[in-house]
Chain A
């Protein structure tokens, strides 16, 4: 009976995980004329793809760091509130709206005659260029990922035994000391989980690079899209995909969580 229960899981994994990854790796060894070759891999180590990888990592890092910076205090505050679940719900609500729609809304907010510049003009400030800047790209990225970071963070902070905190306070710890020496170490698994769920998708963002940054931010995602859809070079596109998977595995290794309970809170 137990083994039978495993069958759907194995079939699922086979069809939707193993086979696609196998195909991806397979395609990556073929050039545009269907010859077996390593040239795609050689190409990946050329300067332009290395540059693109670095820029992908840099922006994914910025987005993750700022998301964490916003979410950690937020999670601490929500823990103190009476209607915890309500506030959590309010913050998670935007995930019900399609990402592209939200991104289009930001075009309206950031554009030359958009909301922000209108406000700036009212206050007598000079016109800002937000749309097509990397600042705007990071802001939108952070906005989109906040709910994904907040959930695991909140779950781990919320599950800290209140008596630990009381004990620290009784022993004379200041507020900052409590946060630094008790709460943060106890919530480290939540931080790791949050960093994972943000960093990994942030590494391959692509539509937002065009819509908000006007292609001034070029990431590996952009390159994959172009290889598959315009150049019809599935081999090169797959090779970049293989490297993305490798990068993600490395990140998973670094942020490995020990406890199993934390993962439950992920979306």
Chain B
């Protein structure tokens, strides 16, 4: 019995000690201190910029990450943490706005907004940029190993080629996978006609023998390690992989693909609205935007920032597609929960057809 008391006391002391020690590592906020809570995708910012922001403004940054738009929505809805800034994709901005989850952004506090390219403002999902400011943008395409295949993936249909048996990795995301199947048939990736969706699903089932696996963020590490010949992946992830494995190439097939935007929004849970504005403005500064783009690998909508990047980078039409190329691309529309359910149901069925 004595031993049990001893053990209990000991663990209590260690526990309290550990709790107190966190105060030395990260001092708690005092009265005058100001902080902002940022909620962003993983690996999606240059951490040096966070320190720099704190140095310049004295505002501390509490930084948390999520791995899907939907997970972010659920977390913000739950309350718990009062996030001051989040970075959802365009269709999620629309959804959050419909649910009155966003605070209007005050453009007067964002002098650096002028650096954002005109084609990135006033898009369908937020016509007056009342609630969102562009952060990064990109496409969905094929990352592949040119030495190991003769195909150049200028068309989606090439994924169905028999030479690719068991050689394709896909991202585990219903809209991307259903989307390229629809695109390969010349349909829109915002299709809601059940017959066309079913046709897209049937076509995916035919692709099943070529699929090596359907995975999450691990896809990047797997491609670096040459796990498969081709992968359907987001442009920025592809950029990251190509920095590590220079044998790979990325292409957006011509039959259309997804054009997406990730944007800053201020959720209605925000406590420090001023701080959030200051942070957005800080990130819109051309030099910071360039530094961030250089670190993250995604395409920056910041025209002035883009000019600061290496010329080879600026002219790389794989990641900064020309206007003509962009015309074939489509932005996701918010299709509503019911249609989203159908997409997910078909995607799940497709996964069950893999062997």
A interface list, Cβ under 8 A from B: 32-33, 48, 51-52, 55, 104, 107, 111-114, 129, 131-132, 210-211, 213-216, 218, 222-223, 226-233
Contact A215 B213 (CB under 8 A): yes
Listed A/B pairs (29) with beta-carbon separation below 8 Å = A32-B337, A32-B338, A48-B348, A48-B352, A107-B218, A113-B225, A113-B226, A132-B212, A210-B214, A211-B218, A213-B213, A214-B169, A214-B212, A215-B215, A215-B351, A216-B354, A218-B352, A223-B348, A226-B347, A226-B348, A229-B71, A230-B68, A230-B173, A230-B174, A230-B344, A231-B340, A231-B345, A232-B74, A232-B340
* Residue in A107, A214, A229 whose CB lies within 8 Å of B70: A229
A-B contact count (CB 8 A): 93
Q: How far is the CA of A233 from the CA of B339 in the complex (A)?
A: 12
Q: Tally B residues with Cβ within 8 Å of A.
A: 36
What is the CB-to-nearest-CB distance from A23 to chain B, in angstroms, rounded to a whole number? 14
Cβ of B349 < 8 Å from any Cβ of A? yes
What is the CB-to-nearest-CB distance from B67 to chain A, in angstroms, rounded to a whole number? 9
Contact A215 B337 (CB under 8 A): no
What is the CB-to-nearest-CB distance from A142 to chain B, in angstroms, rounded to a whole number? 20
Contact A218 B344 (CB under 8 A): no
Residue among A51, A129, A132 with max Cβ neighbours from chain B (10 Å): A132
Contact B74 A112 (CB under 8 A): no
* Residue in B213, B338, B349 whose CB lies within 8 Å of A131: B213
A interface: dominant SS: loop
What chain B residues lie within 8 Å of A228 (beta carbons)?
Answer: 74
What chain A residues lie within 8 Å of B73 (beta carbons)?
Answer: 232
Nearest B residue to A43, CB-CB: B345
Q: How far is the CA of A48 from the CA of B348 in the complex (A)?
A: 9
What chain A residues lie within 8 Å of B169 (beta carbons)?
Answer: 214
Residue among A32, A48, A216 with max Cβ neighbours from chain B (10 Å): A216
Nearest A residue to B344, CB-CB: A231
Top 5 closest pairs, chain A to chain B, by CB: A214-B213, A215-B214, A132-B213, A231-B344, A216-B354
What chain B residues lie within 8 Å of A229 (beta carbons)?
Answer: 68, 70-71, 74
Beyond known contacts A32-B341, A111-B225, A218-B352: 16 more, CB 8 A cutoff: A32-B338, A33-B337, A48-B348, A112-B226, A114-B225, A210-B214, A218-B348, A223-B348, A227-B344, A229-B70, A229-B74, A230-B68, A230-B174, A231-B341, A232-B74, A233-B344
Residue among B216, B221, B341 with max Cβ neighbours from chain A (10 Å): B341
What chain A residues lie within 8 Å of B173 (beta carbons)?
Answer: 230
Contact B227 A216 (CB under 8 A): no
What chain A residues lie within 8 Å of B225 (beta carbons)?
Answer: 111-114
Nearest B residue to A114, CB-CB: B225
Q: Mark B107-118, 1 if CB is under 8 A from A, else 0.
A: 000000000000
Cβ of B157 < 8 Å from any Cβ of A? no
Contact A210 B340 (CB under 8 A): no
Q: How far is the CA of A207 from the CA of B222 in the complex (A)?
A: 16
Contact A111 B227 (CB under 8 A): yes
Q: How far is the CA of A255 from the CA of B80 in the complex (A)?
A: 40
Q: How far is the CA of A43 from the CA of B76 in the complex (A)?
A: 30
Take A111-B227, A129-B166 as given contacts and tell me if A218 and B351 are in contact as well, using a CB distance cutoff of 8 Å: yes
What chain B residues lie within 8 Å of A223 (beta carbons)?
Answer: 348
What chain B residues lie within 8 Å of A232 (beta carbons)?
Answer: 70, 73-74, 337, 340
Q: How far is the CA of A134 from the CA of B221 in the complex (A)?
A: 21
Cβ of B355 < 8 Å from any Cβ of A? yes
Cβ of B172 < 8 Å from any Cβ of A? yes
What is the CB-to-nearest-CB distance from B345 to chain A, in angstroms, rounded to a whole number? 8
Take A32-B338, A229-B71, A231-B344 as given contacts and tell me if A111 and B349 are in contact as well, using a CB distance cutoff of 8 Å: no
Q: How far is the CA of A213 from the CA of B173 in the complex (A)?
A: 16
Nearest A residue to B349, CB-CB: A48
Contact A51 B352 (CB under 8 A): yes
Contact A216 B355 (CB under 8 A): yes
What chain B residues lie within 8 Å of A51 (beta carbons)?
Answer: 352
What chain A residues lie within 8 Å of B226 (beta carbons)?
Answer: 112-113
* Residue in A214, A227, A230 whose CB lies within 8 Å of B215: A214
What is the CB-to-nearest-CB distance from B36 to chain A, in angstroms, rounded to a whole number? 26
